[in-house]
Amino acid sequence: MIMEVTIIVSGEEKDMPLVKGDTVSDILKKAKINPETVIVRRKNTIIPDDEEVRDGDSLYVLKVVSGG
């Protein structure tokens, strides 16, 4: 079954077609985003890379900045 999920990266929305059972990690791979450099949240909750996504989800991809 094909699902539609929206990812928002730096304020830019992108619709991603996925199949049932795809995870956050799968989305990041398809979008060519290194999972070690971002945090993903659904609404106000940070979700892990192995979390299964749902049809119609809007996922916010937040870049992690570090330094000293």
**36 vs 56: CA distance, rounded Å:** 25
**17 vs 4: CA distance, rounded Å:** 5
pTM of structure: 0.86
10 Å Cβ neighbour count for 59?
Answer: 21
10: which DSSP letter? T
What CATH fold (topology level) applies to the domain 2-63? Ubiquitin-like (UB roll) (3.10.20)
Q: What's the burial of 50, exposed, middle or buried (CB within 10 Å: 0-12/13-18/19+)?
A: exposed
Residue-range domain boundaries for the chain:
2-63
Q: Could you report the per-residue pLDDT of 8-64, keeping only the tens digit for each? A: 998 999 999 999 999 999 999 999 999 999 999 999 999 999 999 999 999 999 999
Amino acid at 2: I
